[in-house]
Structure 1
């Protein structure tokens, strides 16, 4: 499957920033100007560039009446762009070209409920159609083809919310034809280039997955391969070559880090193509015509590409030589002669380029945030921090601009710090431009992000070290990172805040309750407070994976597991909170229900413990609408300013365009009560 068609795997938060006036240029030793929140978290002027399969048309996301929509322009006339979608409330966050290039497809949910439906729009006429006109349904992309370009395979859970059935979708007529009914709880399917379903994946009793051969849409009774819990997050099929003779795997079986493996479909023989003892093989670049992998990436401290094909090597070498920072290839034509490439220099805003491989020419398309040109964007420093048991924690540190005069990653004097904890927890932090790092460092804080045990991408033993360690060793890793930062004189022990979303929100609540005097304050965004209720309210389409959640978090169906979940739930230790806490929540969050925030706020109120609670009725697991993002960050930076002494742009009128409801504690943050009126 082409990378163009992998966008439906999950929904990311919106890309958001603004088109404000340019910011005062940075000069070494000069004052560090305050970057407006709008510049980082409003709409970009353009974003997410792609190219049509035939190379005739460029596309991108840009605002229409303040809402991100899809635009197109002829390849030779990028200034002649025009919008082809007309979303009026919620930004489009993911879109892609149909295989035949006759339409642009995008997904959209309602208010953050993550029931993503698929829509089609004609780039010539702007005519839009709903391709999955259902309610309470979440679409999955299962297969696309270089041969049968007029249709794709999709998974729909409209029959049973727990399971996705495979359908063939005619892109011209919108007709859906059921191909395979999923009545046995399969979690996924893999198709070849002929849109023939070849494999079915199912969670097993070991906490891993079983892989079943599919023939004529009949699933074999016994699996041909299996994984246990230890390989569940590091082993998966990665697609067939176009001729269907080779199946690629990202595979950790028999090793610690996931390798790129090629399997001969006829004989079953496997060959390791690439591996790295430091980290898992992550991305690949495959030939659009043959599907053969031509390059792969490994992300330890930074993402590093290695070419397998000489032609791809020449192109990657050219890009490395001619671009300022780390780059990524986001779109390719069927002929593979034109690429869309994104450059990320970190200390300057990134840009999108059109790369003509034959001509060896790079043409700049746009800088999404031109108002950040010349802004004081500091460097990000990769660091490896030792946990108390010797485990290596890959981490990323950003310092306020101008505080690191000798550029060694240590400020001339300790500064306040925000420990920014990633979500998941089965995800990871990476090197690169990070809006939260840029925003918080500009406010005067060191920002430290830590890949604590349980994070992905660093081998299966690192993930396994986090099993049943929510609020314990996973939290200890965060504490060890703070102690490291204090010992390095990056910060002072009494000037550290903890902040994060999803699992990062849980980590914030754990910090406030389990180690109540370790942090000066905390900012929890959509974080679970009660692990027992979290597991009871997971989305129905996650039900086939619940065994893995139980094995990694605690099983509420056993006395021991239920006791562990309660012990690790911050809700039951809410009485220990002694430091200021800010909570942000989306009312429609399907992963971490609003009740997770409501109940800890209620527990704090019952004990007369102060808290500030901001609810967004039109958001889900995070804040997609720029106005809501800006509003919450306005509250957060003024909260942190009072707690740590950093700088803050006044809240001003930033609450007005948002849907924010301050349910508790407006009076505890300067300017918030007035901003609500």
Structure 2
């Protein structure tokens, strides 16, 4: 596992895993949300992009026990019911959610209820610029920006146990550093709880508000955690993780009594394992050991329940353990799928969570923990779509360069066979350290529903398969990792149910880079490419990293190379400077407000490829950033993907 800083940095550069790309768009006739389109496969009915994206997204706020309203009647959620993500109060007893924010532009995501009244916190940026501000909505509906700085980026960091204070990370003082700011819950008066002048990233805060864990990147494979006593005036960060060699650490959370911090470390093997660090004695005790990365571990407010998750072959395996019996909790009344986003009430009597699968998007449930009985509160999938017509993924592995086996998530169309071979797409995740994961994707299911096989490749450098695999691409991007994607295309061509002359490559962010690089450096490998806000000029991209990345740039530059010293290699691997080699059709999609991959990246690539007299289609969204949040844009994008692929790949 790379350091928490590096994972965070890659999340910033990518946001999108390959399976989670249901966002970008292109100017095409919007599909009707009415009856399904005429089927291109006789046996399986097909649905329009509009029908897939009329599926409603639901997610739980991250306010811990304050995800529940003080009276317990509601849970705070975010949803795109209106076409733009807004904040809602979902009745626990069932029924329609009550809309609390009314944004028609950028996503307004629910964060938390206040502990003693119906006020809420929510977060919103400026149309995809990722400069998120934290807002409070009063009980009368009045909205106040608590972090109004023009270039400020602020995020909720947690509540104190007594509910009198909430904490925010903010770069208002220094664009490259995030301080921890304490807000009075009654007056909104604020004070600096920790001034970050040491290149740290705030990682975890104890429930009693005393202890702060900081993450400091050293290299792409090595970081340290520090502990600060916020009750001690001028308290200096103290090293929490002394070690030798490359070891990556993650601060998961504190125990409810604030006496220990839960830490992930890969010190003793390939995968991140969980330990308990006692603050009084400094003793480390093994907590969870497995043959996969421990993605998270935390306790319910009273400490009775422990929630943990393993990243098990691109799927989260969640365990809800009752620590009084040391047995997992059994829930009833659930459909098939994976549990996630667990939130408890303050008294641990109830639990809100989501359930999702390859064929069903996340829905929200509430369970009574005394009985284990769960109640479904939402139905996300558009009722016009029969879930039985959607496709479950399978995990496959194919040989990459040097015999390295490449894990991948495969979606095979229902009607594909040797007698009816399907066109196919190699889908590349963002990152570079991301991971293609199982789970519902309207984008993927729509393409598969229209007859395309989708292979979500986890090329070397992907997370989730051990630290050796993760670091195989360090300062070697656009080389063996790219050839792993080319090998994925070749593996598809070798399947008797795939049309061997109809294979495309597609991806977003770093995956968009790999798409453009595949067309530039392996110009015969794919029939076409779909580049969704991909990096095309690494020299410029790395030089234009936003200031608020701060210390995360250390890990990113160690992984990708420092533009001050590695510009020659960055130029060598950048598709823009080799665009004259591109001979296959290209679709490019870009958000004008993207702070990570600037619009000029796509502008210049499109112009360069058009100069080759190669078919190029370009879509620019004036109201989107790095990942698209508006439903109308997502529908337009999806129609564009299918139209482009049908024209240039399907034969």
* TM-score normalised according to structure 2 size: 0.87
User: 1:560-596 CA distances to partner (integer Å, 9 max, x unpaired)?
Assistant: x222111111111100000000101111111111121
- Decide whether the 8 Å contact of 1:330 with 1:340 is kept in 2: yes
Superposition deviation, residue 236 in structure 1: 1.1
1:389 maps to 402
1:540 maps to 547
2:121 maps to 105
Q: Does 1:380 align with 2:387?
A: no
- Decide whether the 8 Å contact of 1:54 with 1:335 is kept in 2: no
Superposition deviation, residue 271 in structure 1: 1.8
Superposition deviation, residue 557 in structure 1: 2.1
Of the candidates 39, 53, 61, which is equivalent to residue 41 of structure 1? 53
CA distance in 1, matches of 2:21, 2:302: 31
Q: Does 1:423 align with 2:430?
A: yes
More deviation, 241-250/49-58? 49-58
2:202 maps to 188
Distance 1:255 1:328, change over 3 A: same
CA distance in 2, matches of 1:92, 1:100: 22
Instruction: Map 1:273-288 onto structure 2 (within 5 A).
Output: 273-277=287-291, 279-288=292-301
Instruction: Map 1:520-669 onto structure 2 (within 5 A).
Output: 520-558=527-565, 561-645=566-650
Superposition deviation, residue 219 in structure 1: 4.9
User: 1:493-516 CA distances to partner (integer Å, 9 max, x unpaired)?
Assistant: 321111111001001001110101
Of the candidates 52, 58, 73, which is equivalent to residue 69 of structure 2? 52
CA distance in 2, matches of 1:169, 1:512: 51
- Decide whether the 8 Å contact of 1:143 with 1:192 is kept in 2: no
- Decide whether the 8 Å contact of 1:240 with 1:291 is kept in 2: no
RMSD of aligned C-alpha atoms? Answer: 3.2
1:133 maps to 148
Instruction: Map 1:207-222 onto structure 2 (within 5 A).
Output: 208-215=222-229, 216=232, 218-220=234-236
Instruction: Map 1:214-613 onto structure 2 (within 5 A).
Output: 214-215=228-229, 216=232, 218-220=234-236, 223-225=239-241, 230-232=246-248, 235-277=249-291, 279-290=292-303, 293-309=306-322, 316-319=329-332, 322-348=334-360, 351-375=363-387, 376-403=389-416, 413-558=420-565, 561-613=566-618
**5+ residue gaps in structure 2?**
1-7, 25-29, 62-66
Q: Does 1:198 align with 2:198?
A: no
* TM-score normalised according to structure 1 size: 0.84
Superposition deviation, residue 158 in structure 1: 1.1
Superposition deviation, residue 32 in structure 1: 2.3
Q: Which has the higher contact order (CA 8 A, sep 6+)?
A: 2
Q: Does 1:115 align with 2:131?
A: yes
Q: Does 1:71 align with 2:88?
A: yes
What SS does structure 2 have at the residue aligned with 1:90?
coil
Distance 1:518 1:197, change over 3 A: same
Superposition deviation, residue 115 in structure 1: 0.1
- Decide whether the 8 Å contact of 1:206 with 1:228 is kept in 2: no
CA distance in 2, matches of 1:307, 1:383: 29
CA distance in 1, matches of 2:204, 2:335: 36
Q: Does 1:150 align with 2:164?
A: yes
User: 1:51-105 CA distances to partner (integer Å, 9 max, x unpaired)?
Assistant: 33652223433457543322225433x3364222121222324533345564322
- Decide whether the 8 Å contact of 1:16 with 1:40 is kept in 2: no
CA distance in 2, matches of 1:44, 1:322: 19
Distance 1:291 1:617, change over 3 A: farther
User: 1:171-220 CA distances to partner (integer Å, 9 max, x unpaired)?
Assistant: 33222212222223222253211112433333336863333332325353
CA distance in 1, matches of 2:474, 2:281: 36
CA distance in 2, matches of 1:631, 1:290: 47
Superposition deviation, residue 331 in structure 1: 2.5
- Decide whether the 8 Å contact of 1:115 with 1:137 is kept in 2: yes
What SS does structure 1 have at the residue aligned with 2:551?
helix
- Decide whether the 8 Å contact of 2:86 with 2:110 is kept in 1: no
Distance 1:287 1:229, change over 3 A: same
User: 1:411-433 CA distances to partner (integer Å, 9 max, x unpaired)?
Assistant: 66431101111111222111221
- Decide whether the 8 Å contact of 2:158 with 2:166 is kept in 1: yes
Distance 1:305 1:453, change over 3 A: same
Superposition deviation, residue 452 in structure 1: 1.2
1:661 maps to none
Q: What is the number of residues matched between the two proteins?
A: 623
CA distance in 1, matches of 2:117, 2:403: 52
What SS does structure 2 have at the residue aligned with 1:371?
coil
CA distance in 2, matches of 1:244, 1:386: 47
Distance 1:516 1:382, change over 3 A: same
More deviation, 136-145/17-26? 17-26
CA distance in 1, matches of 2:237, 2:300: 34
- Decide whether the 8 Å contact of 1:47 with 1:368 is kept in 2: no
CA distance in 2, matches of 1:238, 1:48: 19
Distance 1:294 1:99, change over 3 A: same
CA distance in 2, matches of 1:119, 1:534: 31
- Decide whether the 8 Å contact of 1:382 with 1:394 is kept in 2: yes
